[in-house]
Amino acid sequence: MRILITAGPTREYIDDVRYLSNASSGRMGYEIAKAIVAAGHDAFLISGPVDLPDPNGCEVHRVETTGEMRDVCVELFERCDGVIAAAAVCDYKPLHRLSGKLAKTGEPISIDMIETDDVLAQLGSIKQHRWVVGFALEAENARENALQKLRAKNCDAVVLNGPAAIGSETNKVELIDETGNVVESWSGNKSAIAANLIAWISTHLSS
């Protein structure tokens, strides 16, 4: 198989110096990329800004903003069999990016925000014969929100995890398939979870 994988955070700039982002380390996505290669498949990794070396044996594309990630994903998805969207993209961006550096005035400021492009939803809308696996990081109403994501974004499966996964070497996940049922639960090192996920995809989604 030829598998697209997204990893890490994205950044949305307020001005030329400051940006919005999150604390994602990218480790889960990178371990999945390694597991793809270890299983004998071709991996295409689209990574936001992380402090991790490129995994051996896969094609790596570094991006910064959510829009950049969307563009590269759409381009590469055409020649892949499926995508695993593990990136923690920034959901909002300033309506207007300021030029230079916003100066302190001693007064409160407000910044108008708009939603960024939904990378996973766009890939789900154009998947055709390909499969789509998303990640859902949820703090409240976890399964309900994951099911909404599964259906709204036309996923074949969703990996549900929680905030404890951020920056950690371990994770605890539930795999929800297209029927809305929890079909697998894994916990432990992210490398082991990644291997289990690729094995499940190879059995259940590979044509």
Which residue(s) pair with 132 in the sheet? 83
Domains of the chain and any CATH numbers = 2-94+112-204 (3.40.50.10300)
Band (70; pLDDT cuts 50, 70, 90): very high
Smallest CA-to-CA distance from 89 within 167, 165, 29, 7 is with: 7
Compute the distance between CA of residue 150 and CA of residue 173 in angstroms, rounded to an integer: 15
> What SS3 state is found at 143?
helix
Q: What is the pLDDT of residues 96-147, one digit of tens each?
A: 999 999 888 899 989 999 999 999 999 999 999 999 999 999 888 999 999 9
pLDDT tens for 177-206 read 999 999 999 999 999 999 999 999 999 997
pLDDT tens string 146-172: 999 999 999 999 999 998 898 889 999
Give the Cα separation of 21 and 13 in Å (integer): 9
Q: According to the model, what pLDDT value does residue 207 have?
A: 65
Q: What is the pLDDT of residues 16-39, one digit of tens each?
A: 999 999 999 999 999 999 999 999
Paired residues of 126 in beta bridges = none
Between the alpha carbon of residue 132 and those of residues 18, 64, 101, 125, the distances in Å are: 33, 22, 40, 10
Tokens of residue 173, six digits: 């996940």
At 168 the pLDDT is 87
Q: Report the 3 state secondary structure along 175-203.
A: EEECCCCEEEEEEEEHHHHHHHHHHHHHH
Distances (CA, A) of 167 to 31, 51, 173, 191: 13, 11, 15, 14
H/E segment holding residue 117 = none
Q: Read off the pLDDT of each residue in 51-56 and give the average, rounded to a whole number.
A: 96
Active site residues: 22
Count other C-beta atoms under 10 Å from residue 136's C-beta. 24
Round to whole Å and give the CA distance between 162 and 135: 10
